[in-house]
Amino acid sequence: MGKQDARSLPAEAQEDLRRRVVEAVQKGLSQTEAAQVFGLARGTVSRWMGLVERAGRRALKARRRGRPPVSRLKPHQAATTVRHIVSGCPDQLSLPFALWTREAVQELLSRKFDVQVSVWTVGRYLRAWGLTPQKPVRRAYEQNPTAVRKWLEEEYPAIREQARQFKAQIHWLDEMGLRSDHQAGRSYGRRGETPVVFGTGQRFRCNMISSITNRGRLAFMIFRQRFTARVFLNFLGRLLRLTRKTRKKVFLIVDGHPVHKARSVSRWLAEHREQIRIFYLPAYSPELNPDELLNQDVKTNALGRVRPVNLQEMMGNVRSYLRITQASPKAVKNYFRESHVKYAAS
């Protein structure tokens, strides 16, 4: 019988083989005979018998194989690395990466702690730290964190309290452009062969302005021309007509687009101050506006998954989708459930 390398066996099989060989020797078989019967080297049997004599039969138990599960990073080094990953980007630490990849973390460990590890080891560290690869959200460098914190802790709570006093509705407003070549979602195809989606080669676009409330109200307008003060005032007039039945004042929250601060808009707001007031979000902070989630929904589901052949069809698709959403207050309320806009849900 040929000799076998016991190291190639699973851990449980190794333990069982060791026990059977030791029992055979203890029952009278010589070590040489046991080695021949079980197809092992004479030295292997001798080593196992020596282990039993020194430590007893527990020495035959299977042990974890491979590299010991001990991190080369000290606890404070691991904590510092996680803090860097979750609080900023690699280029802020003068690393030649824009995103946190395994290579970026590998470089950080080398520079900061002089710890050299492979990208596979970095991957194990990241999993152990509860970090997973995700599509990041873009945020402008120009955003002022102090202004954002003040908005969340002071300004918006004050607006909400005023709205309760005046029994006003808080509307969140935003505008966006829509293009016929926008694409969203994925399509199945053969492995290694990118699916082809056919559509018109023409490019056309329209614009959309909308406002939503945490009570499920939605107002919108689709238009072709450029967004100007006249267009904005047209929408504000529509908004007041839609809310006339409730006889409630409108508190409108917008971003810092120049049209929102145009002179003609300011005059119109002064004339209608008993019906509507306007408030401005911190600069470069679209993530604070729940209406951005409506924009994303429309781009993905009303435009990105269909192929309009002309401008009229595209505008019709978007308008139909918005009307369906408008008729479902629950769907509008769901936009306020995202973690970064949940503050506006009450």
* pLDDT tens-digit map of 266-287: 999 999 999 999 999 999 999 9
Within 167-228, residue ranges assigned H as helices are none
Distance (Å, rounded) from C-alpha 156 to C-alpha 342?
12
In the structure, what pLDDT confidence band is assigned to residue 66 with cuts at 50, 70 and 90?
A: low
Distance (Å, rounded) from C-alpha 138 to C-alpha 71?
33
For residue 207, report the phi and psi dihedrals to the nearest 5 degrees.
Answer: -125, 160
Distance (Å, rounded) from C-alpha 326 to C-alpha 210?
11
Distance (Å, rounded) from C-alpha 119 to C-alpha 107?
10
What are the DSSP E strand ranges found in 117-186?
A: 169-179
Closest CA to 234 of 218, 251, 220, 214: 220
What's at 279, amino acid-wise? F
In the structure, what pLDDT confidence band is assigned to residue 193 with cuts at 50, 70 and 90?
A: confident
In the structure, what pLDDT confidence band is assigned to residue 11 with cuts at 50, 70 and 90?
A: confident
From 93-102, 164-173, 301-310, 330-339, the region with the lowest mean pLDDT: 301-310
Residue 3: per-residue pLDDT: 60
Distance (Å, rounded) from C-alpha 82 to C-alpha 92?
15
Closest CA to 225 of 315, 290, 128: 315
Kindly state the average pLDDT of the residues 293-319: 90
**% of the chain at pLDDT higher than 70:** 93
pTM for the whole thing? 0.68
